[in-house]
């Protein structure tokens, strides 16, 4: 424990840091701030909870559970009991909090962790079968979802996943010998353009898989984008390529 206490006219405040073993047996560093009013313990303390390893919702849930516990100890010194309680029950509170977590909270958590989207334009693929296989392998290894799209001479790669994985994919795409040149020698991709790299927003639907698709008309390609909630992305970047 680390205690920092300082008396105030309105009671006493102090911080306590505790380390608790969490779900996957990793340590969670929990910072608890207690403010004990002058007439404590007849009055409940103010408690605030923060932790770098927990989401804001989880911290709020921990605080609410601690206040529930505090009510059971009203009029007796309780801080020590509350600390023991949180050490023993943190795991359950987090489990519950995660289960109750609705889709919206999950989405914002993912955005915090950086779910990004990347749209690339390739000029050509000479060794198409090998190139496609390589892109599929990279997407699978980096757990990226999306589409490799062929329409006429247009080749687009649309990817979604962790920001770090997107960055790693770009490095692979630029530095690996993915194609062959006109003389059949292996070569790096020099004719690639990054059309867009952006954070996935709530109106964007997440692709569940990575698929290779061929489209016979621009309308089909547009429909693919619209199904994923990416109408704007299509209208901004694709029409110039069709000219």
Instruction: Give the lowest-confidence range in 66-75, 80-89, 111-120.
Output: 111-120
Higher pLDDT, 216 or 38: 216
Other CB atoms within a 10 A radius of the CB of residue 202 amount to 11
Q: How far apart are CA 63 and CA 85, in angstroms?
A: 12
pLDDT greater than 90 at residue 221: yes
Instruction: Fold for 115-241, please state it.
Output: Alpha-Beta Plaits (3.30.70)
Long-range contacts at 25-32 (CB < 8 A, ≥ 24 apart): 26/53, 28/53, 28/54, 28/90, 29/53, 30/54, 30/62, 30/86, 30/90, 32/66, 32/83, 32/86
Q: What is the mean pLDDT of residues 54-63?
A: 87
Per-residue pLDDT at 203: 66
Q: How far apart are CA 142 and CA 139, in angstroms?
A: 5
Tell me the pLDDT tens digit for each residue of 150-205. Answer: 999 999 999 999 888 998 998 888 888 888 888 888 888 888 888 888 888 766 77
Average pLDDT value for the chain = 83
pLDDT greater than 80 at residue 242: yes
Range 12-97 has CATH code 3.90.226.10: no
The model's confidence at residue 22, banded by pLDDT at 50, 70 and 90, is low
Residue 213, token pair as written in the block = 């698709």
Higher pLDDT, 180 or 109: 180
Give residue limits of the domains in the chain: 12-97, 115-241
The model's confidence at residue 20, banded by pLDDT at 50, 70 and 90, is confident
Angle, helices 79-100/56-72, rounded to nearest 10 degrees: 140
| pTM for this predicted structure | 0.54
Q: How far apart are CA 194 and CA 178, in angstroms?
A: 17
Tell how strand 46-50 and strand 115-122 pair up. unpaired
Per-residue pLDDT at 108: 41
Q: How far apart are CA 54 and CA 50, in angstroms?
A: 8
Q: What is the mean pLDDT of residues 207-221?
A: 93
Tell me the pLDDT tens digit for each residue of 122-157. Answer: 989 988 999 999 999 999 999 999 999 999 999 999
Highest mean pLDDT, choosing among 25-34, 101-110, 115-124, 190-199? 115-124
Q: Hunting for tokens 């779910």 — which residue is that?
A: 115
pLDDT greater than 90 at residue 214: yes
The model's confidence at residue 68, banded by pLDDT at 50, 70 and 90, is very high
Per-residue pLDDT at 151: 93
């Amino acid at each position: 424990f680390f205690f920092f206490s300082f008396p105030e006219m309105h009671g006493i405040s102090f911080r306590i840091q505790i380390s608790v073993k969490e779900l996957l047996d990793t340590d969670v560093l929990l910072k608890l701030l207690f403010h004990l009013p002058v007439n404590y313990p007849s009055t409940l303390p103010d408690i605030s909870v923060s932790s770098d390893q927990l989401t804001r919702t989880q911290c709020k849930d921990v605080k609410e559970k601690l206040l529930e516990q505090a009510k059971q100890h009203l009029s007796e010194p309780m801080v020590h009991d509350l600390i023991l309680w949180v050490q023993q029950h943190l795991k359950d509170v987090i489990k519950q909090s995660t289960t109750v977590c609705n889709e919206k909270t999950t989405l914002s958590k993912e955005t915090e962790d950086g779910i990004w989207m990347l749209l690339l334009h390739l000029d050509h693929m000479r060794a198409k079968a090998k190139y496609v296989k390589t892109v599929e392998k990279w997407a699978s290894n980096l757990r990226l979802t999306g589409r490799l799209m062929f329409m006429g001479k247009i080749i687009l790669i649309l990817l979604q996943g962790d920001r770090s994985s997107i960055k790693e994919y770009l490095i692979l795409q630029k530095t690996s010998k993915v194609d062959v040149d006109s003389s059949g020698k292996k070569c790096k991709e020099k004719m690639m353009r990054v059309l867009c790299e952006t954070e996935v927003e709530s109106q964007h639907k997440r692709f569940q898989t990575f698929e290779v698709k061929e489209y016979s008309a621009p309308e089909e390609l547009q429909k693919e984008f619209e199904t994923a909630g990416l109408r704007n992305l299509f209208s901004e970047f694709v029409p110039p390529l069709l000219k």
